[in-house]
Structure 1
Amino acid sequence: MMDTVVNDYLATWNAQGEQRTALLQNTFAQDVTYTDPLAETTGRAELDAVIDAVQRQFAGMTFTPIGKPDRHHSQVRFQWGLGPAGAEPVVVGFDVVVLDGDGRVADVRGFLDKVPA
């Protein structure tokens, strides 16, 4: 279950167009909240806009999982990297997601561990 949550979460951040729309609907609650050092949003549309901005800023780079996710109750925490495929990530972060009763991501708390200078 937690691997599926992480994989679908990161796939959403990598996807574009209709694929991202479908992943947002299937993976995230309608009123999802997302908070990291650079953004604070509510709802799928606002999260979609954040993802779009990140994709423009880091064009051609992909999100990949780092290490193993950890879970207790309805919370999953995991580390991720953002960088060129097969290369050292230029950004590394750590997210904690809280799932709703349907198994969708209802809340995200993101932290940045490594950012470009």
Structure 2
Amino acid sequence: MTVATGLQDLTDRYVAVWNEPDAERRRAAIRELWSADAVHTLQPPGDLRRTAQGLGFGRLVLEARGHDALDVRGTRAHEEFVAPGDYLFRSCGDAGRLHDVVKFHWEMTSRDGGEVAAVGLEILLLGPDGRITGDYQFIEG
């Protein structure tokens, strides 16, 4: 397996978590991809950050720590965006790796026409076993 193939497999499996309709399969995929104490950190979209700043909050960052919290995060994202039948997530195929750091972009596209509704940048830190220990998500558009 080449590095590129391994990266494509990782990003495909990562994106599949958010599209997975079956809760048990989603939970199993989370346990396979993320370490037990992994942290998923989300920088919310600009409008949410501006609203928080308007309420007197400084830096707004959301975190999910551990498998149970990641399961809640994955379930909520699926329920809000994928389950209603409006959107799907996909990797942009631009993954790169430097030592234990992986970066790639993903898109949330409309299910019917593939129109891009959102774009994100994912930065993953991998542990010695190849599972994700740190997951940093930036919503870019």
Normalised to the residue count of structure 1, the TM-score between the two structures is 0.90
2:91 and 2:39 mapped to 1: Cα distance?
Answer: 21
Cα deviation, 1:63-115, whole Å, max 9, x if unaligned, reads: 1011410111011100000122351221110000011111111110110111x
Q: Does 1:12 align with 2:17?
A: yes
Question: Percent of aligned pairs with the same residue?
Answer: 27
Opposite residue 30 of structure 1, the aligned amino acid is A
Structure having the larger proportion of residues in strand: 1
2:71 and 2:27 mapped to 1: Cα distance?
Answer: 8
Corresponding residue for residue 66 of structure 1: 92
2:114 to 72, 87, 99: 87
SS in 1 for 2:92: strand
Query: Which structure 1 segments of 5+ residues have no match?
Result: none
Cα deviation, 1:35-56, whole Å, max 9, x if unaligned, reads: 0124211101101111111122
| Contact kept? 2:23, 2:75, Cα under 8 Å | no
Corresponding residue for residue 37 of structure 1: 43
Aligned-CA RMSD value: 1.3
Opposite residue 95 of structure 1, the aligned amino acid is E
Query: Which structure 2 segments of 5+ residues have no match?
Result: 1-5, 45-61
1:48 and 1:89 mapped to 2: Cα distance?
Answer: 25
Corresponding residue for residue 107 of structure 1: 134
Structure having the larger proportion of residues in helix: 2
